[in-house]
Amino acid sequence: TARLIDGKAAAATVLAEVRGDVDALEAEGIEPTLAVVLVGDDPASHVYVRNKVLRAGEVGIRSLEYRLGADVSADELLELIERLNADRDVHGILVQLPLPRHIDENAVLEAIDPRKDVDGFHSENVGGLSQGREVLTPCTPTGCLRLLQDSLGDLSGLHAVVVGRSNIVGKPMAALLLQANCSVTVLHSRSRDAAALCRQADIVVAAVGRPRMIDAGWLKPGAVVIDVGINRIEEDGRSRLVGDVDFASASALASAITPVPGGVGPMTIAYLMKNTLIAARLQHAAAPEAVCPSTC
């Protein structure tokens, strides 16, 4: 049966790296700071924001929380983002999605300074990833890539199948795997013979949002399976979280597999912290160190 890929342990390693980077920056007089913006009262969003702020505190990243009512205007939100963009003491800006319907989500994401865009959703970062430039990349797929590299080492030449083509997981995952020299196939709701295509994969990343859709029938023996899905279902009279992969069935055939929970989830937050550190370094490297008064 498949080896379990322990996302909690991997996340602890990433967070320890971040902790070291925080100490190094603080020695230079820089306090890495993440601003988290939460609009409205979606309960899941509140839980996500609380977890992000808690994790930041644990690794020594300062966090600033901005909670706005569901009826906030787009202009007010954009003004806040402008203020955070201009604030040299803020290194990362995260706007928790989804936003209320009356606000254009894309306009808000585009308003964030790309160098502070710790979610990696700004078009400049999306384009940069596609061109293979070093940019801030989305936390969930970046965390998945790290799990794969920790498990398999060099991914060159492997065939990776990504199931799902969302802007936040599927598409950036495909771009990252391509960057890591995989041959990449992206499957989606209109794909024909999806299971047969998936059976050709050395690596399967499932980001669909359908409980247990991918079972052993989708897998080649020995495939490595990363399950991004988080689905709440009712089973045997209780509520539980399951992935997009049928764990019991898949783990009989896969060589390694992430559990849900305890797989990709912890890595997502760990990479948010890592991105905040990368953003802080980026801004301080780019900032003019000392402007000579006589020349300005």
Report the distance separating Cα 124 and Cα 136, nearest Å: 10
8 counts as catalytic: no
Q: Looking at 96, 227, 244, 246, which residue is catalytic?
A: 96
Roughly what angle, to the nearest 10 degrees, separates helices 264-286 and 43-59?
60
For 257, the token pair is: 């597999």
The residue among 72 and 213 lying less far from ligand NAD, judged by its C-beta, is 213
Does the annotation list 165 as a binding residue? Answer: yes
**SS3 at position 290:** coil
CB 243 within 8 A of CB 274: no
Q: Does 228 bind ligand NAD (CB under 6 A)?
A: yes
The residue among 39 and 213 lying less far from ligand NAD, judged by its C-beta, is 213
Report the distance separating Cα 179 and Cα 182, nearest Å: 7
Report the distance separating Cα 108 and Cα 111, nearest Å: 5
Closest CB 270 distance from ligand NAD, rounded Å? 10
119 counts as catalytic: yes
Q: Residues 208, 226, 273, 277: which binds ligand NAD (CB under 6 A)?
A: 208
Does the annotation list 230 as a binding residue? Answer: yes
Q: Looking at 119, 227, 244, 246, which residue is catalytic?
A: 119
β-pair type (256-257, 224-227): parallel
Q: Count the residues in the chain.
A: 296
Which residues from 11-50 bind ligand NAD, rule CB under 6 A? none
How many helical (H) and strand (E) elements, i.e. helices and strands, does the chain have? Answer: 10, 11
Report the distance separating Cα 227 and Cα 211, nearest Å: 11
DSSP class per residue in 97-122: SPPPTTS-HHHHHHHS-GGGBTT--S
Closest CB 186 distance from ligand NAD, rounded Å? 9
Binding mask 81-120 for ligand NAD (x = CB under 6 A): ----------------------------------------
Q: Residues 191, 195, 220, 284: which binds ligand NAD (CB under 6 A)?
A: 191
Q: Does 141 bind ligand NAD (CB under 6 A)?
A: no
Binding-residue total with ligand NAD (CB under 6 A): 24
Which residues from 161-190 bind ligand NAD, rule CB under 6 A? 163-166, 168-170, 187-189
Does the annotation list 249 as a binding residue? Answer: no
The residue among 26 and 104 lying less far from ligand NAD, judged by its C-beta, is 104
Q: Residues 209, 220, 262, 283: which binds ligand NAD (CB under 6 A)?
A: 209
220 counts as catalytic: no
Report the distance separating Cα 13 and Cα 19, nearest Å: 10
The residue among 176 and 207 lying less far from ligand NAD, judged by its C-beta, is 207
Token match 């963009």: residue?
85
Report the distance separating Cα 107 and Cα 110, nearest Å: 5
**SS3 at position 133:** coil
Binding mask 229-268 for ligand NAD (x = CB under 6 A): xxx--------------------------------xx--x
The residue among 30 and 197 lying less far from ligand NAD, judged by its C-beta, is 197
CB 265 within 8 A of CB 230: yes
CB 205 within 8 A of CB 250: no
Mark the binding-site residues for NADP(+), compressed into ranges.
164-166, 230
Contact positions vs ligand NAD (CB under 6 A): 140, 163-166, 168-170, 187-189, 191, 194, 207-210, 228-231, 264-265, 268
What is the set of active-site residues? 52, 96, 119
